[in-house]
């Protein structure tokens, strides 16, 4: 029988390895940025076209590579970071397995320019599908520029699984932000289709966070700091009142490497216990420094998961550190909940003695005396004014002659005035019957209405969702939404990635009734909003919409519009617990059964149930 096990060719093995390392353009961005950081670069530029599908280019001013290193770096397991297996437990660099560039070169067109500082000329290498097309000497600046073009050109199935440009760009921005937050001493610039999205100068950690997430972030941050033999903890947590429903502002860094750790996230949640509303997530930017020998970062291909030797101690220290900072900066509540700050002694009067007031008494004062008696010192005695009561004598003279004038018809007389009597009737139509109430609200959650065969019980929140969903979908389709103009434009602040997402759906929002007067780098200005949205709920509704968009990652087209309309319908619908008047109940019922699909909500939940008279009769058997 012939042998059936064969060695795979190198280009096939590289394509298989690429499936673990390169999942989307954001994976390429992460690997190239980390290589630039390992090259000791102080300035890094990231250039992206069509969300990385056409081009991902990283330009750095690091120490560059020689001609031999430039060719060797695209070989599998070729690395300058480790020499022996023991080096895996003493890592101070980002990439170390030597698989990234080989995997990228197997599924894309790669062009590399690199030059070391001590030489005059650099090297250019072109690779297509792991095959070196050309290698030549060129003039190029010190450092490295690597361009990855036409990603997955030779694997059409993988390319077809990529999402829309907006979704892929959001993943690229996420990776870019993670790397930039871990290295504030390096300047980063991001360009997409020729537009500058980020320009982050060299700064400290706090300023880097503000530059990425917007100027309003500065007031939300509470610093944390703790140094122990096991771990050094630093960074910032967000104040509880600025918590969000999503986890977009949660970052853990271990030795300047972004990681995901549900266990450590639980420690942060325990520190915020009692301070957050239900389903709200705290913001945090926490940097941990541990001994590299106590962690294993080689347990996942993307190196975003780390195994700690002593997780329990780290959990306790992190929880205590965050809780201490919240209490130190008066974020956590104190025992005296009703203490009035106005009663505190001002700093200027803290050490001053109270002065004894000088009391003066007028011993000559007699409240029962009609006349002022000049006893004592008249210069210091208070003066009192006495008023004489007018006499009531002769009041009859005021009305002399009034009767004679009345008899002469020269003045006002009430004798000849006739008053028109009003006939009191019970109603305009005496035979009209009182209007029958057709609906009833149960526990401020359900609306009960009678039908011919029995009764129908409607969930008011889901019913309003369905009504709003079809109404908003119709408005987007025909663009005839009613917008209410604001007397004063409203300015709302968002992060750069959220602004990019709002720009993507701007046209759909305008069809619903939103009117944008300005869209800046970290804020938007609205001059009009839909008629069924109150100004006070505007920030909450838009944040919920962005959260739903980032969570479901919709593609362009109908699915994007569907997610947008679903999110707005969920946020704008009346809540359970809201009391509805009879007219509101009837209007909701009528609008529901005028919908095309009144039986289920936009989220595939049952809206109403019916109970027939026969079903009710069976309950009494």
pLDDT exceeds cutoff 50 at 376:
no
Supply the range of the domain harboring residue 501: 441-610
Q: Residue 544 is part of a domain; what is its CATH number?
A: 3.30.1370.100
374 occurs within a structural domain? no
Structure-token pair, residue 516: 């944008």
Contact indicator for 168, 24 with CB cutoff of 8 Å: yes
342 occurs within a structural domain? no
436 occurs within a structural domain? no
At which of 328, 357, 381 does a domain end? 328
Query: What whole-number distance in Å separates Cα of residue 360 and Cα of residue 337?
Result: 42
What share of the chain in percent tops pLDDT 70? Answer: 77
Buried b (16+ CB within 10 A) or exposed e, 428-442: eeeeeeeeeeebebe
349 occurs within a structural domain? no
Q: Residue 353, exposed/middle/buried by CB under 10 A (0-12, 13-18, 19+)? A: exposed
List helix spans (H) across 113-164: 156-160
Q: Are residues 511 and 568 in the same domain?
A: yes
Structure-token pair, residue 346: 């001002």
pLDDT exceeds cutoff 60 at 422:
no
Contact indicator for 592, 459 with CB cutoff of 8 Å: no
Q: Are residues 460 and 598 in the same domain?
A: yes
Q: Are residues 195 and 235 in the same domain?
A: no
What confidence category does residue 460 fall into, taking pLDDT thresholds of 50, 70 and 90? very high
| pLDDT digit string, tens, across residues 401-416 | 655 555 555 555 555 5
What confidence category does residue 112 fall into, taking pLDDT thresholds of 50, 70 and 90? very high
Q: Are residues 177 and 219 in the same domain?
A: no
Place of tokens 């992190």: 318
Q: Are residues 165 and 255 in the same domain?
A: no
Q: Residue 119 is part of a domain; what is its CATH number?
A: 3.30.565.10
Average pLDDT over residues 197-220: 89
501 occurs within a structural domain? yes
Q: Are residues 16 and 104 in the same domain?
A: yes
Q: Count structural domains, the chain.
A: 3
Complete DSSP assignment for 428-484: SSTTPPPPPP-EEEETTTEEEEEETTEEEEEEHHHHHHHHHHHHHHHHHHH----EE
Amino acid 368: pLDDT: 82
pLDDT exceeds cutoff 90 at 242:
no
Contact indicator for 87, 110 with CB cutoff of 8 Å: no
- Using DSSP's 3-state secondary structure scheme, residue 274 falls into coil
Complete DSSP assignment for 237-253: EE-GGG-BSS-TTEEEE
End-to-end Cα, the chain, rounded Å: 78
Kind and range of the H or E run holding 265: helix 262-271
Q: Are residues 81 and 107 in the same domain?
A: yes
Q: Residue 223 is part of a domain; what is its CATH number?
A: 3.30.230.10
Q: Are residues 277 and 232 in the same domain?
A: yes
404 occurs within a structural domain? no
Complete DSSP assignment for 354-371: PPPPPP---TT--TT-SS
| pLDDT digit string, tens, across residues 483-501 | 888 888 888 888 777 887 8
| pLDDT digit string, tens, across residues 153-190 | 888 888 888 887 878 888 899 999 999 999 999 999 99
Structure-token pair, residue 345: 């002694």
Of residues 417 and 196, the one with the higher pLDDT is 196
308 occurs within a structural domain? yes
Q: Are residues 264 and 315 in the same domain?
A: yes
At which of 200, 233, 251 does a domain end? 200
Q: Are residues 175 and 316 in the same domain?
A: no
Amino acid 432: pLDDT: 47
164 occurs within a structural domain? yes
Report in angstroms the alpha-carbon separations of 535 from 484, 511, 513, 514, 545. Answer: 10, 18, 13, 12, 16
**What is the average pLDDT score of the chain?**
81
Roughly what angle, to the nearest 10 degrees, separates helices 205-213 and 165-182? 170
Beta bridge partners of 190: 46, 198
Place of tokens 């149960």: 442
At which of 328, 346, 367 does a domain end? 328
Q: Are residues 180 and 127 in the same domain?
A: yes
Q: Are residues 218 and 170 in the same domain?
A: no
Residue 407: alpha-carbon gap to chain centroid: 85
């Amino acid at each position: 029988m012939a042998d059936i096990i064969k060695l795979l060719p190198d280009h096939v093995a590289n394509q298989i390895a690429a499936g673990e390392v390169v999942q989307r353009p954001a994976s390429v961005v992460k690997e190239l940025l980390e290589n630039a950081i390992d090259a000791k670069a102080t300035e890094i530029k990231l250039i992206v076209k069509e969300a990385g599908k056409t081009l991902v280019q990283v330009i750095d001013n690091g120490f560059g590579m020689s001609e031999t290193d430039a060719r060797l770096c695209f070989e599998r397991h070729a690395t300058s970071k480790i020499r022996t297996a023991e080096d895996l437990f003493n890592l101070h660099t980002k990439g170390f397995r030597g698989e990234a560039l080989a995997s990228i070169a197997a599924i894309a067109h790669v062009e590399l320019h690199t030059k070391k500082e001590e030489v005059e000329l650099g090297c250019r290498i072109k690779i297509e599908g792991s095959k070196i097309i050309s290698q030549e000497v060129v003039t190029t600046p010190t450092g490295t520029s690597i361009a990855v073009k036409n990603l997955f050109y030779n694997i059409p199935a993988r390319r077809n699984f990529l999402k829309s440009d907006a979704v892929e760009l959001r993943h690229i921005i996420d990776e870019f932000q993670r790397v930039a937050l871990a290295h504030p001493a390096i300047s980063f610039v991001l360009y997409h289709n020729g537009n500058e999205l980020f320009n982050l100068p060299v700064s400290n950690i706090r300023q880097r966070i503000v530059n990425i997430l917007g100027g309003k972030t500065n007031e939300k941050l509470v610093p944390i700091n703790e140094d122990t033999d096991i771990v050094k903890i630093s960074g910032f947590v967000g104040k509880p009142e600025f918590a969000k429903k999503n986890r977009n502002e949660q970052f853990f860094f271990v030795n300047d490497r972004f990681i995901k750790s549900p266990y450590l996230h639980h420690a942060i949640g325990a520190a915020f216990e009692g301070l957050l509303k239900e389903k709200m997530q705290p913001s945090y930017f926490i940097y941990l420094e541990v001994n590299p020998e106590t962690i294993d970062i080689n347990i996942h291909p993307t190196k975003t998961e780390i195994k700690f030797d002593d997780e329990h101690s780290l959990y306790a220290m992190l929880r205590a550190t965050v809780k201490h900072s919240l209490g130190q900066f008066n974020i956590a509540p104190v025992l005296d909940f009703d203490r009035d700050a106005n009663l505190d002694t001002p700093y200027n009067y803290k050490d001053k003695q109270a002065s004894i007031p000088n009391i003066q008494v007028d011993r000559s004062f007699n409240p029962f005396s009609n006349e002022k008696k000049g006893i004592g010192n008249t210069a210091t005695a208070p003066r009192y004014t006495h008023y004489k009561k007018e006499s009531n004598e002769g009041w009859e003279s005021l009305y002399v002659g009034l009767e004679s004038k009345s008899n002469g018809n020269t003045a006002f007389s009430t004798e000849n005035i006739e008053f028109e009597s009003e006939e009191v009737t019970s109603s305009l139509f005496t035979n009209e019957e009182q209007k029958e109430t057709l609906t009833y609200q149960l526990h401020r959650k359900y609306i009960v209405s009678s039908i011919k065969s029995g009764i129908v019980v409607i969930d008011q929140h889901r019913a309003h969702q369905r009504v709003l969903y079809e109404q908003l979908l119709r408005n987007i389709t025909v663009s005839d939404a009613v917008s209410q103009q604001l007397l004063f434009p409203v300015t709302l602040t968002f992060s750069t990635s959220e602004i990019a997402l709002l720009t993507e759906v701007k046209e759909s929002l305008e069809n619903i009734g939103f009117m944008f007067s300005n869209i800046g780098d970290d804020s938007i200005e609205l001059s009009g909003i839909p008629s069924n949205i109150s100004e006070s709920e505007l920030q909450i509704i838009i944040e919920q919409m962005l959260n739903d968009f980032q969570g479901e990652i919709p593609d362009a087209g109908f699915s994007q519009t569907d997610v947008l309309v679903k999110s707005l319908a969920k946020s704008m619908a009346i809540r359970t617990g809201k009391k509805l008047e009879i007219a509101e109940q009837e209007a909701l019922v009528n609008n529901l059964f005028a919908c095309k699909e009144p039986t289920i909500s936009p989220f595939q939940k049952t809206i109403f149930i019916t109970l027939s008279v026969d079903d009710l009769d069976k309950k009494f058997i």
